[in-house]
Structures are given as C-alpha cells and as structure tokens.
C-alpha cells in the first residue's frame, strides 16, 4: 500500500496568487454557476484577475505566501516515516505542481493507493473536487487503484488530537475552562450544497459535538466563515457571531477561536481570523485568542497514521457529485 495526501494548496509566493485564484474560481465543484463551461471559465478568470490585487495584499500581511504547501510537504515526509511507506502529495489549486504530482502517482507500482484528504469533513467542493480532477488527470488504470478515506469527522484519533490541542492551549494561556467560550469556526459553503445532498454541515456538527465532549465546563458554539459571492451560506456566520459576541458568550470572559475544519493554517486562519474576527471579539474581551490549526504537531501525525491504517476505504466514483 502507498499513500496520497491531497490538500487545497496555496500560493507559494505573490506571483502565484492569480493562477491560484483562477484555478479555484474556475472549479465548477466550488463555484456552481449555471453557465456553459467555456463561459464559466472566461467569466471567472476575469473575476480572479480582478481579485488578485486585493488578495495579494492579504497574503502580504501573512508573509507573502501561504504556508499550506510547505506544511503539507513536511507532513508527507513525517507521515511516510510513520507509515513506513511512500507518500505522494497533490495540491488542488497550484496548477504549476500538477504535472509533476500526476507523473509521480502514475509511476507508482503499488496495487492500491490510499488517498488521505486533509479535509476532515467530506464536501463535494473539496474532497469531491479532487476526486473529479484525478479521474481526468490520471490514467484509468491508476484511478482504479485509488482507495479513499472519505472523511474522518468523528474518528477518535481526530477528535482526541483536537481535544489535546485545545487543552494544552488553555493551559498555555492560563485560561479556566469554566470561564471560556470555545468558538469553533468552520469553512462555510452555500446552503444549496447541503440542499443538493452534501453531508458537510452534518459532519461539521458531529466534529463540534464530539470535541466539546472533552470540555463539559466550557461553552461552545459552531459558526462558518469565508463566504464569498452571492447566495445564502451556512449560518451562523463567524463574522455575525463575533460582532454580537455578548449575546453568544453566555457570560464567559475568555474566548478561543478554533479552526475545526482547517488542518493547516493558511489565509483563512492567519489573515481572516486574525485580522477580521479577533478585533471584533477584543471589543468584548481582551482575553481572546486563535488556537492554531493542527499543522505539524507530532500528535497530529500520529492521528493521521491511525486514520490511514484504520479508515474505511471507498472508490473514487462514490465521491464525485453527479
């Protein structure tokens, strides 16, 4: 058995921001506009070019790049050592990496390749998008070898690693559980995705509930961030919760924002949470913090190893939206 880590990908420098945005917005599993394929690509490439300057400014504030690519590659090395087997990587929205990644996967001599999405909760716009892309980019012979861990939203190893992370963070900051609000912020999706049969919202709720079992004295809530474009998205939004935190906090003096769907820190955590949401929360309480994502924590590598060995495997076709 060999393994394939698949992730979102992020620009490694400011020059990659335009191509990153084009790849993202032209993905019809992410942006489901009712347009012919050629018109969708033309229209959203224009949108991407217009957004590139603003987004580049946001990336400048977090060091001029996204750490997600580099962290995923380091994770590959650590996981390969832990599993004692080769591990490949694929970065969905970094088109300049696709050719080399696909070629490496094609050369695999393994009878099966276990695909591990770095998206704990299943969504057709993340894991599903990558499954569709690989069916087009790989030979049918190799595609038949892919066996996917669909999600691990309630896997004990995933739940426990977050519980340990949060507990250690509370101790580090000197926060009392009974006086703390745990604000779990998940990446949002349009409500219509759920209406079309996506289980993402349900799996986010499951992860939230399971992690909260480890903090019976704390008060917790789940919200959704990163809305873009028109339409109704999952609610409550993180921005709304932060702006009206006095009505949500149940009197807790301390607030910790936890990126429950993000396994790696990137622009949604390092810029969006830090620069947009924490200032709103600090108007209410100076004891407001962002808990880092799992990143390269040793415990996370151990959890991923357990997930890779114990997870139920499904075929590529079962992950693709019809």
- Indicate if the pLDDT at residue 312 is higher than 90: no
The Cα–Cα gap between 270 and 280 comes to 15
* 162 pLDDT more than 80: yes
Residue ranges per structural domain of the chain: 2-152+302-319, 156-290
What order do you get walking across the sheet with 180-187 strand by strand?
219-225, 180-187, 254-258, 288-290
Same topology, domains 2-152+302-319 and 156-290? Answer is yes
State the pLDDT at residue 203: 98
Which residue is it, tokens 């004990």?
Answer: 156
Do residues 68 and 264 lie in contact, with contact meaning Cβ atoms separated by under 8 Å? Answer: yes
Reported as a single tens digit per residue, the pLDDT across 274-307 is: 999 999 999 999 999 999 999 999 999 999 999 9
pLDDT tens-digit map of 112-141: 999 999 999 999 999 999 999 999 999 999
Looking at residue 183, its pLDDT comes to 98
* pLDDT score of 206: 98
Fold annotation for 2-152+302-319: Rossmann fold (3.40.50)
Residue 229 and residue 50: Cα distance in Å, rounded? 14
Task: Return the pLDDT at 211.
Answer: 98
Distance CA 11, CA 18 (A): 9
Residue pLDDT, tens place only, 229-239: 888 999 999 99
Look at residues 312, 256, 264 and name the one whose alpha carbon lies nearest to residue 285.
256
Q: What is the mean pLDDT of residues 151-156?
A: 97
By CB atoms closer than 10 A (0-12, 13-18, 19+), residue 215 is: middle
Q: What percent of the chain has pLDDT over 70?
A: 100
The residue-averaged pLDDT of 177-189 equals: 97
For range 179-196, the mean pLDDT: 97
pLDDT tens sequence across 24-62: 999 999 999 989 999 999 999 999 999 999 999 999 999
* Average pLDDT of the residues in 12-18: 98
The mean pLDDT of 136-156, rounded to a whole number, is 97
Task: For CA atoms 131, 135, 137, 138, give the dihedral sign.
Answer: positive
pLDDT class of 311 with cuts at 50, 70, 90: confident
Burial of 272 (0-12, 13-18, 19+ CB in 10 A): buried
Of 3.40.50.2000, 3.40.50.1400, 3.40.50.620, 3.40.50.1100, the CATH number of 156-290 is 3.40.50.1400
Mean pLDDT of the chain: 96
């Amino acid at each position: 058995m060999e393994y394939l880590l698949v992730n979102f990908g992020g620009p490694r420098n400011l020059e990659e921001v335009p191509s990153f945005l084009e790849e993202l917005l032209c993905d019809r599993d992410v942006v489901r506009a009712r347009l012919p394929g050629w018109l969708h690509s033309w229209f959203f490439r224009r949108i991407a070019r217009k957004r590139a300057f603003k987004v580049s400014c946001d990336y400048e504030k977090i060091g001029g790049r996204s750490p997600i690519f580099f962290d995923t590659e380091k994770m590959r090395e650590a996981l390969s050592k832990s599993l004692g087997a080769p591990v490949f990587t694929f970065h969905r929205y970094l088109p300049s990496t696709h050719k080399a990644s696909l070629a490496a996967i094609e050369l695999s001599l393994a009878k099966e390749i276990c695909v591990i999405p770095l998206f704990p909760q299943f969504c057709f716009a993340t894991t599903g998008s990558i499954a569709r892309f690989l069916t087009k980019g790989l030979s049918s012979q190799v595609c038949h070898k892919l066996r996917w861990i669909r999600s691990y939203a309630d896997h004990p190893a995933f739940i426990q690693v977050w519980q340990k992370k949060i507990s250690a963070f509370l101790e580090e900051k000197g926060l009392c559980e009974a006086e703390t609000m745990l604000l779990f912020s998940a990446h949002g999706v349009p409500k219509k995705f759920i209406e079309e049969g996506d289980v993402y919202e349900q799996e986010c709720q499951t992860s939230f509930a399971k992690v909260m079992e480890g903090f019976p004295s704390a008060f917790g809530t789940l919200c959704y961030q990163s809305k873009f474009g028109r339409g109704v998205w999952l609610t409550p939004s993180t921005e709304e919760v932060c702006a009206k935190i006095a009505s949500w906090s149940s009197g807790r003096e301390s607030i910790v924002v936890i990126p429950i769907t993000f396994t790696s820190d990137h622009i949604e955590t390092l810029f969006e949470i830090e620069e947009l949401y924490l200032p709103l929360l600090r108007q209410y309480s100076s004891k407001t913090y962002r808990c880092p994502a799992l990143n390269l924590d040793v415990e996370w590598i151990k959890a991923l190893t357990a997930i890779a060995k114990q997870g139920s495997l499904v075929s590529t076709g079962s992950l693709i939206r019809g």
